[in-house]
Amino acid sequence: MNILFVVHHHLDRHTGAAGSVLALVAEYRAAGHVVDILSFDDLPSSTGRKLALPFFSLLVARHMWLARARLHVVDASTGDAWLWARLRNVLRIRGPLIVTRSHGLEHLAHRERLIDHRSHGRRLSWKYPIYNGGLHLWEVATSVRDADMTFFLNRTEREYAISHLGAAADRAHVAHNGLSSDLVARARARSPLTPILEEAGIVVLGTFIGRKGIAYSVPALDRFLRNNPRAHARLLGTGRPASEILPRFSPFARERVSVVESYAHEDLPVLLRGHQIGVLASVAEGFGKSLLEVMPCGLAPVATKIAGPDEFISHDINGILVRPRDERALLDAIRRLVDDPVLLARLRIAARETTTDFGRYCRFRG
């Protein structure tokens, strides 16, 4: 088959959505299919960051018009192929089967963003409702409704798309992100499950943005470090330099916090050495792949009980789930693991074993 993958990100195999797409492309090519990719890398260099997403759907529609005769399947992230799908359905144009794939449903992230701003008494920019909080949500809904098949990362996304966006239930499926079997094997081989001896090591995962729960994880981590002078922490994959992040911590805690702005997946066993607990404090996630990636390295997960992480974390079975937006709950979960080495060891082993079920790049739930 001739397949076109479309993703509204720059192609970097070490990032979430783009990395997942590149992994899927490699799998399809290995199976003998002809696969191309259309991404932000294909936009004109003069396109600014703020205009990239609005113009991308135009680029996609043009490309699909020119390539429609040779393509069999187009697998596009939410909102990317809405224009072509609308024209195809209205004008009855013959063309490839269209798959819309969510890497985190925008409507659910939008809802949580509104909650965050209201709870902190902040106002959104007047520009936000025009596109990101307005037109783009309509584009996403249109792409979901007009697709021949839709894939979502969790059950909540699927149910929301069916009940609120008009997605057809018989064409909507849940397909989890997965892991490279090689990554899992290397991580296990290079990451012995050493117990906490004198220093507890905490890893906080995710870009340093509001959706990742930094308003709650930073105060919780700061308090833990101030009360545990031999503990240390690492913020992994922040997307921002240490100079912007470390001032958010108190001076006493700051000296035991390290920041890794970006990293290669193959470096995880080294970056996580000496750490036993991984924290994902997000208020909205499609899946939470960054947490899954550290589990074969022997980290016990602490995550918010939201759609995404609760697809692979079961409370007190292979990790700990806490209420979102609850600084105290995060702190108590970390303390509980550090103070109970038997529980910590059990969850670390169970978390590592969980990744066996995700030893491919995609797990299909149907």
* In the predicted structure, residue 194 carries a pLDDT above the cut 60: yes
Q: Tell me the H-state helices in the chain.
A: 16-30, 49-67, 82-91, 106-119, 136-146, 155-164, 181-190, 214-227, 242-245, 251-254, 268-271, 289-294, 327-339, 341-354
* pLDDT-wise least confident of 55-64, 188-197, 303-312: 188-197
User: In this model, does residue 46 exceed pLDDT 70?
Assistant: yes
What integer pLDDT is reported at residue 189 of this predicted model? 74
Question: Which percentage of the chain shows pLDDT scores above 90?
Answer: 78
- Same CATH topology for 2-177 and 181-363? yes
pLDDT of residue 359: 59
Closest CA to 143 of 71, 84, 103: 84
Mean pLDDT across 161-190: 87
Residue, of 364 and 112, whose pLDDT is higher: 112
Structural domain boundaries in the chain: 2-177, 181-363
Residue 341 confidence (pLDDT): 93
What does the buried/exposed string (b/e) look like for 35-59 if buried means 16 or more CB atoms within 10 Å of the residue's CB?
Answer: bebbbbeebeeeeeeeeebeebbeb
Summarize the confidence of residues 108-133 as an average pLDDT. Answer: 88
Distance of alpha carbon 284 from alpha carbon 290, whole angstroms: 14
Residue 198's pLDDT band (boundaries 50, 70, 90)? low
Structure confidence at residue 365 as a pLDDT band (50, 70, 90): low
pLDDT at 81: 96
Q: What is the pLDDT averaged over residues 240-266?
A: 96
Q: Quick one: pLDDT at residue 197?
A: 58
- Chain centre distance of CA 292: 10
pLDDT surpassing 80 at residue 120: no
pLDDT level of residue 364 (50, 70, 90 thresholds): very low
Condensed to tens digits (0 to 9), the pLDDT of residues 292-338 reads 999 999 999 999 999 999 999 999 999 999 999 999 999 999 999 99
Q: What would be the CATH architecture of the domain defined by 181-363?
A: 3-Layer(aba) Sandwich (3.40)
Q: What is the DSSP letter of 135?
A: I
Average pLDDT, the chain: 92
Among candidates 96, 65, 80, which has minimal Cα distance to 2?
96
In this structure, which amino acid lies at residue 245? I
Q: With 60 as the cut, is the pLDDT of residue 362 above it?
A: no
Instruction: Say if strands 73-77 and 2-7 run parallel, antiparallel, or are unpaired.
Output: parallel
Region 166-178 average pLDDT: 94
Rg (CA), the chain: 21
Residue 37, pLDDT above cutoff 60: yes
Question: Which range is least confidently modeled, 21-30, 98-107, 350-359?
Answer: 350-359
CATH of 2-177, one of 2.40.10.120, 3.30.450.40, 3.40.50.300, 3.40.50.2000: 3.40.50.2000
**69, 88, 141 from 203: Cα distances, Å:** 49, 47, 35
